Structure 1
């Protein structure tokens, strides 16, 4: 129970620390790039070629610039889903890969010859591990609540000092 509380306390504490030290991004200083004098100065100093002119035209018509004259992409609440979907896909995929490998190694360790199963992949066992990996969020919650995911305090070796 103590470890579960600690696992929940660490992300909350880091979120509080991060939100207190990082100033929130505000779009008050952002203006359309076509109205920014610093952006217009950068545009006039750029070489006259397609690779410079075309981006400056697009930036000037569609983006907002900061005081430095550089285009910025503010994340607004209506665009939050644009960030959330790729992040969710990445998190699910990374968890799937990690959980599949973890479940294969756990199953291999329970077999009669675990070293051989780590070198020569047992295909039926690997497919079973991939199927378990598809359900990794549910299996994670199950193991976390039952205490299988974390080690007990008496199982952790402490170096005598």
Structure 2
């Protein structure tokens, strides 16, 4: 912010912070003529520095209703488990075969829930790396574990990752 202010590249800055440490940066930017607008996400007033709030040119607090107009949270884990459990109920319950079938349905349901940009991101990842991207693997492991009602074995994890790759490739 200071560098942009010094170069006269900005006239206004929106600061989403509450730390008093940035107060000096706000002062310096204001010395270059920049108006600094402090934005908080409710309940922010209890966690924003009073000195920072006094230093800012304006202070605004956005509530949940405002945030919901442009941002949403996907409750994917519970939804994927419900859909996968319903689909897996039709497969014969025979130990490991049932678990593998449940994992396949769960992974396919998970991939079906990914957006176009997520799929494109996986394809871009595959240009330099192999397997399931770490952030998706971290989501998928507990989802599959919940779907089968326990911790995945090494062969089940391998099956999960292979199924993920096939499902994503089918969407490309």
TM-score by length of 1: 0.29
Whichever structure has more helix as a proportion of its residues is 1
- Greater Rg over alpha carbons, structure: 1
TM-score by length of 2: 0.28
